[in-house]
Structure 1
Amino acid sequence: MDNDTSTTDYDVLIEDDFTDDVTEQCHKHDDKIFAAQFLPPIYSLVFILGLVGNVLLVLMLAKYKRLKEVVDVFFLNTVISNFLFLVTFPFWIHTAIHSWDLGNTMCKVISGFYSVGYYGHMCFLILLIIHRYLAIVHMGRFHLAAKTTYGIITSTWGLAMLAALPELVLSQVQMEGKDYICRFVQPHYPLGDEKFWKHFLTLKMNILGFLIPLFVTIFCYGRIKKTPRYKEKKYGLFRLIFVMTLIFMGLWTPYNLALFLTTFQEHLNLSNCESSYRLDKAVQVTKIIGNTHCCINPMVYGLLDETLRRRLPCLFHLQNNSDGHRREGAEQQSPTTKGPLYHSTRF
């Protein structure tokens, strides 16, 4: 788990200590100064926007969607993953300015929250895409019982925790320079396995966080586009999920690329000082960009979902309740909520 203060290699949810002497000599910039100057204001803004946006989304889902549909429950779980992700930001802000002084237990807990929040959000976006694919392509043959849905949700969180297990178990407090930091510590493997472990962590991020979501999105979208019903009807809900997934992947793709190049720079002839310096800065900047997903996705949902877009003023009492009741009947057939195009399981 990293707090963007490292002077060594990086992983998306961790900071490892596979130090390379040549790489270390090439780092001429002070990452601690960079983190202290830029991370607190940026992460504070992301934290505030993310907290407000996700709280509003929970209120809207509970008040106007009432969580009666499977997709609404899945969306709620993406919000929960955002909260797990967001709760770690104050700790990284504090560490960027000062140092980690909360001990090993909190280091593991916060690292685990960050990792589970990231992988949980990605898993539920994939689940939403698959759910829409089955509902549209296999319309009339697809049905989820309530017990099955809860089992899928539990299994999805289990997969997210499994993916985050290395960060949860192996994060520890270590001294770096004059500061204590919460970082991922390599297991006590033989010296010859250090590179393998480093490559494994990077490939884990690239495969789980990029390649699998990309493949699922392309496959499901391609099959849906080929269905005769796609041109006849407007599948607003699928477009909402598709856009949210594209934004999530778009925010994290630069980091995945920078992480891959940094990890395998020796094999790509990028191990000279100038390339190492550029890759190091690219990893820091792209990770900040990726971390903004927790505040951007709630905004996208609020803007693209027809029901929430119409109901948001009512939440702030800008419209009276009677006006809201008059609109309720018309919204029952919204392509992003009810009706045959929604084709979801009601609890």
Structure 2
Amino acid sequence: MSTNTQQQLNTSNASSAVQASLEIRAASGLLGLCWALGVPGNLVVLAVLQPRLAGGRFTLWLMLNLAVSDLLTLLTLPVWIHTLLHGWSLGAVPCKLLSCLEYWSLYTSMLCVTLLSVQRYLQVLHPQRWAELKSTGRRILLGLVWALGGVMSSHALVQREVRAGMDGLLHCLPRYRWAGEQVATLLMESLLLFVLPFSIMASLYCTSPCTEG
């Protein structure tokens, strides 16, 4: 290999390393901004909703659970920011548990948002059906939301492991045992976090005007 070629490779590697470092710092800064704005914002929501829960309005309870699930997601961000910058140093068990908690809160947040749309649809267009669901049934419904979120996030307990990343540092990353497992996981996450919830909400909003008319 000629000297010029070696110099070009060294320059290219250095440029790639600088670009990767800038991307990591930008991602860390964005996550830090989300934490700085999201944590106080959700704490304010909790403080505002707490005195109003005595009336038993299910919408307020859903908003409270949504704020709690969002807060759980945000509270893990400092750990992931530190990991981006310095690597993972907490061990295998915290890696699995924190990843599961992150997914659990994300799934629960999406389920709460979806249930809010369903609840508003029933309240407006089918109030008698909604009234048949008493307070006990509504509490059970909220419990099912958290339970279902926990079930959907359980794959992180199996797949997440501590291993070396491309930067040479240890990271809490998913390890797929075969290609089909990765495809199935990505499809499941896309379906449960985006496709299915947004399809339900879109169909409800599109049906409402037609039904009212």
Coarse TM-score class (shorter-chain normalised): 0.7 to 0.9
**Letter of the structure 2 residue corresponding to residue 112 of structure 1:** C
The residue aligned with 1:226 is 210
Give the RMSD, CA atoms, in angstroms: 1.9
Give the aligned partner of residue 185 of structure 1. Answer: 175
**Percent identity over the alignment?**
23
Change over 3 Å in CA distance of 1:117–1:29 after alignment to 2: farther
Q: CA offset at residue 67 of structure 1?
A: 6.0
1:127 alignment counterpart: 115
Partner of 1:45: 33
Gaps (5+ residues) in structure 2? Answer: 1-14
2:141 is equivalent to residue 152 of structure 1: yes
Contact 2:162 2:171 (C-alpha < 8 Å) held by counterparts? yes
Specify the SS of the correspondent of 1:100. Answer: coil
Structure 1: distance between partners of 2:22 and 2:108: 29
- C-alpha change, 1:99 and 1:165, in structure 2 (3 Å) is same
**Is the CA contact 2:39–2:75 (under 8 Å) kept in the aligned structure 1?**
no
Contact 2:53/2:61, CA 8 A, preserved across alignment? no
Once the two structures are superposed, the pairs formed by residues 40-79 of structure 1 within 5 Å of their partners are 40-64=28-52, 66=54, 68-79=56-67
Mapped to 2, the partners of 1:167 and 1:67 lie a distance apart of 38
1:33 aligns with 2:21: yes
Give 2:191's aligned residue. 207
1:152-176 CA distance string (max 9 Å, x none):
1111111111211111332111123
* Higher fraction of helix: 2
CA distance in structure 1 between the partners assigned to 2:34 and 2:55 by the alignment: 27
Q: How does 1:86-101 map to 2 (within 5 A)?
A: 86-101=74-89
Matched-pair contact (CA < 8 Å) for 1:54–1:79? yes
Instruction: Using structure 1 for the length normalisation, give the TM-score.
Output: 0.53
Tell me which residue corresponds to 1:290.
none
Tell me the SS of whatever aligns to 1:74: helix
Greater relative contact order structure (CA < 8 Å, 6+ sep):
1
Structure 1: which 4+ aligned runs deviate by more than 6 Å? none
Q: Write the deviation string for residues 6-39 of structure 1: whole angstroms up to 9, x where unpaired.
A: xxxxxxxxxxxxxxxxxxxxxx944751444212
Describe the shift of the 1:129–1:74 C-alpha distance in structure 2 as closer, same or farther (beyond 3 A): same
Contact 1:137/1:223 (8 A) holds in 2: no
8 Å contact 1:108–1:167 — kept in the other structure? yes
Give the whole-Å Cα distance in 2 for the aligned partners of 1:35 and 1:100: 18
Describe the shift of the 1:45–1:173 C-alpha distance in structure 2 as closer, same or farther (beyond 3 A). Answer: same
CA contact (8 A) 2:70 2:109 kept: yes
Task: State the AA in 2 paired with 1:180.
Answer: L
| Matched-pair contact (CA < 8 Å) for 1:111–1:171 | yes
- Of 107, 116, 134 in structure 1, the residue corresponding to residue 95 of structure 2 is 107
Within 5 A, what are the aligned runs for 1:257-296? none
Shift of 1:195: 2.1
Q: Deviations over 1:14-72 (max 9, x none)?
A: xxxxxxxxxxxxxx944751444212222111101000100000011113454621111
**Matching residue of 1:85:** 73
- Is the 1:35–1:96 contact (alpha carbons within 8 Å) kept by the matching residues of 2? no
